[in-house]
Amino acid sequence: MRRPSRVSLVLCTWLVTPMIAAAEPKPRTDRLDLDDGWTIQSSARLKAVDGKVTGVEVSGVEVSGVEVPGVELSQPGFPTDGWHPATIPSTVVAALVADGTYPDPYFGMNLRTLPGADYPIGKIFSKLPMPEGSPFRSSWWFRTEFATPVAGSFPRSGEATVLHFDGINYRANIWLNGTRLASRDEVAGAYRLYQFDVTEHLRAKGMNALAVEIFPPGVDDLAITWVDWNPMAPDKAMGIWRDVYLTTSGPVTLQHPHVVTDLELPVARLTVSVELRNTTDRLQRGQLNARVGDVQISEAVALQPEEERTVVLRPDRHPQLVVHNPELWWPIHMGPQNLHDLDFSFEIEGVVSDRTHTRFGIREITSELTDEGHRLFRVNGRPVLIRGAGWTPDMMLRFSPERMASELAYVRDMGLNTIRLEGKMEPESFFQLADEYGILVMAGWCCCSHWERWKNWSDEDYDIAMESLRSQILRLRQHPSLLVWLNASDIPPPARVEQGYLEVLDELRWPNPVLSSASATPAEHSGPSGVKMNGPYEWIPPSYWLTDGGKHGGAWGFATEVGPGPVVPPLESLREMLPASSLWPIDEQWLFHAGTGRFDNLDLFNDALTARYGAPTGVADYAFKSQLMAYDGLRAMFEAYARNKYTATGVIQWMLNDAWPSMIWHLYDVYLRPGGAYFGAKKALEPIHVQYSYDDRSIVVVNGFDRPFDEVEVSAELFDVEMHQRFAKQLTIDIPRDGVSRVFEIPEITGLSTTYFLNLRLKDARGAHLSRNFYVLSTQEDVLDWNASTYYLTPVKIHADLTGLATLPSVELAMTVAHEVQGDEGVSRVTVENPSSHLAFAVHLRLIGGEDGKEILPILWEDNYFPLLPGESREIEARYRVEDLAGARPVVELDGWNVSVKDSQPRSQG
């Protein structure tokens, strides 16, 4: 019997419930990715004569108001001479930059030269309409051709081929071989995932043509937006921003495998489910086979014609799903990231119709309100202090698996245990790696756009929001790394919207906590959130976090986005992002990269830098002092929240990374160059750590491990600016698991130099270092104007005076380097010695190599911007990809506040 057309079914059913293929560690064997061979062109540059498209306007004159027929564009062999090449995923602007039509918009003020990018500087473009004359006001066509996938085990009449779109921004008409699969009214929403049964529309021989007409988002669309951390490309991210692919199966398809853990140690009860769909107009009988770890279960299933059904395997019917002493999944530092295989297959008369494979973790995440009303999360019953940062993708939504892996390696290296996604949902590989690394993920919708202008929502907006949530939850819920879903960011949704969201989450068996928003404002249905969004976002001194007094963004409660303001990149990055003529003094080119809205300048940061360290003498001096500012600021924030756990229950640094070259809010810059912010955060995030308290001068040891440390030695030395020891103390203590131990206080010292130093050490019973820490302090402490606090800053009346650093004598260090290769990883060990009687401050190492002699990036340095006391020697290790050397011998460069080097380079091994 001939298969009926599936297009009507897809539009009536699948567009109401859009889905994505199951998460998999490696691609399906029956998947054909449609990533290469695309071309794009503006509809305004196509001519239609007598209903037929004739090509590109040679003169460049735009033709508007003419409907270009997709039936012609989606015919194999349609000429695309003069179109722009593209590789999917891609936005329009990303493709035009890649083919050289536009210059690199990330350099200097090049972005302003792109058509349609002349919106007012400092304004949030997502809130503005496309400018008149912008080439992105019209629709753009994305087109490719491909061969029909080869048939599998079933005869051609029994196979189903499905076309998947995992992300279109914002609306689209989709055509295949002259047939329109969906219209712009049916494909709408950046975060929805679409599937179309195209079995009857593929050609048995020859090529198929797929043409997608994409329409840009408007101000009142639930689209992809950026807010104040960077500008927006002039196309507003219009394009196919996630994968396009075909999957082939037999008559019954499988998707959305899912495991929910009910944990009551030492027993875990697993509930396992998968969605089945009969793609035919006939009854289909078969056997569903599940392998859950080492457990195998089979059930007979009969599906009515075109039936979709979720089959749930429960432990009360299948006692094999009751696991004793399970191997649990834990976040980083709390335990191992045990992952187990989950395989489903469906067999019809002994032939596999479809199969899925994914991995899952046996774990349970819960949350509660503490007695103080703060949100506290638990993993497998144990409390966890959330310490994370906010993620952003590339401004043009370009995605690189290699770059993503490098960034998550940075997250793990710093010791962060959480990433927050404010919208901008990442692809499967991101969450798979988060599962492997033990990095928790807070996911949810974005602020400051139509996503939170609910009073302006139409019925269509409401439907798009619910289906967007459905699409994302179906793919996210399986990952053990998912910590929580946030239904909004800055403002909780109104009752109707929140209720709709909660119903979708309940229907899809979301296994984790849900927050109404990232702010403290209570919601009508879910009540208090237990989190806060009180700022700051501008520069504040290190003492802020422990002297807040429980009113603002200090170290109490759960701060969902907060930070010490601007993070100026190192000098090498400034040279990559700014024209040489604009490197100094600071000009409009700098400020163009300083954020938008009220964050479009560096004034407060610069005033503080000058007051604390002295006026910068040039760009190099300014950039280095900026690293010290960032180091102290990020270290202090993370240390404060750690000292106050679990009165402080979580902190999310705003932000982790950059969407483009930026002067604000990151822990590492867009070039993946770790600077002072990175190493200050890494120092504070040590799983066992010794630290100083700015409020009461106490020395504290924080243990983030789930085991105690006995007989550890805590020592403190206080030096004046000339390195005369003015105080010293050491004590041997036992540190409880996941504990905080206040060890002793530093007394007030009379006659101390204005700038002075505190050196802390933590050693185990064998004398091995567990933690080192070094502070530059001042007898003139920062004085804050708390009464003038706003959501983004607390002004400083008097700054700490650290200008005594300028009196440090120059120190020549000795350095030796050993290099070796371990598989595809290079390892460099740098031994640095201070033979002098003076302090060597903020010693900074870089590794140079490769064909162009540039810095090796990404790279994992054990430590950086570190001090060396008189006579002290340290070995610092760096790890990197051998391929980045391009066969060259690596060279270590050293600089710092007051240092030069007499080096011995290098020794190579392996």
Q: In whole angstroms, what is the distance from residue 793 CA to residue 119 CA?
A: 27
Confidence at 844, pLDDT banded by 50, 70, 90: very high
CA neighbor of 446 nearest in space, from 226, 664, 239: 226
Q: What pLDDT shows up at residue 7?
A: 32
Q: What pLDDT shows up at residue 409?
A: 98
Q: What pLDDT shows up at residue 29?
A: 52
Q: Which of 413, 498, 561, 782 is catalytic?
A: 561
Mean pLDDT of 120-132: 80
Q: What pLDDT shows up at residue 910?
A: 45
Is residue 790 scored above 60 in pLDDT? yes
Is residue 113 scored above 70 in pLDDT? yes
Mean pLDDT of 663-669: 97
Asked if 659 and 422 touch (Cβ cutoff 8 Å), the reply is no
Q: What pLDDT shows up at residue 258?
A: 98
Active site residue 895: no
Is residue 589 scored above 80 in pLDDT? yes
Mean pLDDT of 591-608: 92
Is residue 206 scored above 60 in pLDDT? yes
Q: What confidence tens digit (pLDDT) does each residue in 568-584 have?
A: 999 999 999 999 999 99
Cβ atoms within 10 A of the Cβ of 284, count? Answer: 22
Q: Could you give the C-alpha distances from 536 to 199, 311, 560, 643, 656, in angstroms and in order?
A: 55, 48, 11, 19, 16
Average pLDDT, the chain: 92
Is residue 907 scored above 60 in pLDDT? no
Is residue 65 scored above 50 in pLDDT? no
Q: What pLDDT shows up at residue 595?
A: 85
> What 3-state class would DSSP assign to 724?
coil
Q: In whole angstroms, what is the distance from residue 467 CA to residue 485 CA?
A: 15
Q: What pLDDT shows up at residue 908?
A: 47
Lowest mean pLDDT among 79-83, 121-125, 556-560, 726-730: 121-125
Task: Pick 524 or 126 by higher pLDDT.
Answer: 524
Is residue 53 scored above 70 in pLDDT? no
Q: What pLDDT shows up at residue 905?
A: 63
Q: What pLDDT shows up at residue 597?
A: 80
Is residue 677 scored above 70 in pLDDT? yes
Mean pLDDT of 162-183: 97
CA neighbor of 379 nearest in space, from 320, 439, 305, 458: 439
Q: In whole angstroms, what is the distance from residue 247 CA to residue 253 CA?
A: 10
Asked if 280 and 305 touch (Cβ cutoff 8 Å), the reply is yes
Q: What pLDDT shows up at residue 20?
A: 25
Asked if 820 and 564 touch (Cβ cutoff 8 Å), the reply is no
Q: What pLDDT shows up at residue 149?
A: 81
Torsion angles phi and psi, residue 788, rounded to 5: -100, 15
Q: Which of 490, 498, 686, 855 is catalytic?
A: 490
Asked if 326 and 292 touch (Cβ cutoff 8 Å), the reply is no
Q: What confidence tens digit (pLDDT) does each residue in 616-640 have?
A: 999 999 999 999 999 999 999 999 9
Confidence at 47, pLDDT banded by 50, 70, 90: low
Classify burial at 465, counting beta carbons within 10 Å of its beta carbon; exposed 0-12, middle 13-18, buried 19 or more: buried
Asked if 416 and 387 touch (Cβ cutoff 8 Å), the reply is yes
Q: What is the CA radius of gyration of the chain?
A: 29
Structure tokens at 391: 């993620």
CA neighbor of 430 nearest in space, from 410, 404, 409: 404
How are the residues of the chain apportioned to helix, strand and coil, as percentages rounded to the nearest 5? Answer: 20, 35, 45
Is residue 4 scored above 90 in pLDDT? no
Q: What confidence tens digit (pLDDT) does each residue in 130-157 have?
A: 998 999 999 999 999 999 886 554 445 5
Lowest mean pLDDT among 581-585, 594-598, 896-900: 594-598
Confidence at 52, pLDDT banded by 50, 70, 90: low
Q: In whole angstroms, what is the distance from residue 715 CA to residue 731 CA?
A: 6
User: In the chain, how long is the greatest CA-to-CA distance?
Assistant: 97
Structure tokens at 773: 């820490």
Q: What is the DSSP letter of 437?
A: H
Q: In whole angstroms, what is the distance from residue 321 CA to residue 294 CA?
A: 10
Q: In whole angstroms, what is the distance from residue 859 CA to residue 709 CA?
A: 31
Q: What pLDDT shows up at residue 411?
A: 98
Q: What confidence tens digit (pLDDT) does each residue in 688-717 have?
A: 999 999 999 999 999 999 999 999 999 999
Q: What pLDDT shows up at residue 360?
A: 98
Is residue 785 scored above 60 in pLDDT? yes
Q: Which residues pair with 253 in a beta bridge?
A: 277
Task: Pick 55 or 379 by higher pLDDT.
Answer: 379
Active site residue 603: no
Q: In whole angstroms, what is the distance from residue 632 CA to residue 587 CA?
A: 26
At CA 756, angle to CA 751 and CA 758, rounded to 5? 120
Q: In whole angstroms, what is the distance from residue 241 CA to residue 222 CA?
A: 15
Asked if 515 and 529 touch (Cβ cutoff 8 Å), the reply is yes
Classify burial at 907, counting beta carbons within 10 Å of its beta carbon; exposed 0-12, middle 13-18, buried 19 or more: exposed
| Strand order, beta sheet including 514-515 | 514-515, 482-486, 440-444, 418-422, 386-391, 648-653, 557-562
pTM here is 0.94
Structure tokens at 11: 């539009």
Lowest mean pLDDT among 92-106, 217-231, 372-386: 217-231
Asked if 416 and 439 touch (Cβ cutoff 8 Å), the reply is yes
Q: In whole angstroms, what is the distance from residue 481 CA to residue 432 CA?
A: 8
Is residue 684 scored above 70 in pLDDT? yes
Lowest mean pLDDT among 10-14, 659-663, 767-771, 846-850: 10-14
Amino acid symbol at 619: V
Confidence at 305, pLDDT banded by 50, 70, 90: very high
Q: What pLDDT shows up at residue 21?
A: 31
Is residue 415 scored above 50 in pLDDT? yes
Burial 648-675 (b: 16+ CB within 10 A, else e): bbbbbbbbbbbbbbbbbbbbbbbbbbbb
Confidence at 886, pLDDT banded by 50, 70, 90: confident
Amino acid symbol at 193: L
Q: What pLDDT shows up at residue 229?
A: 85
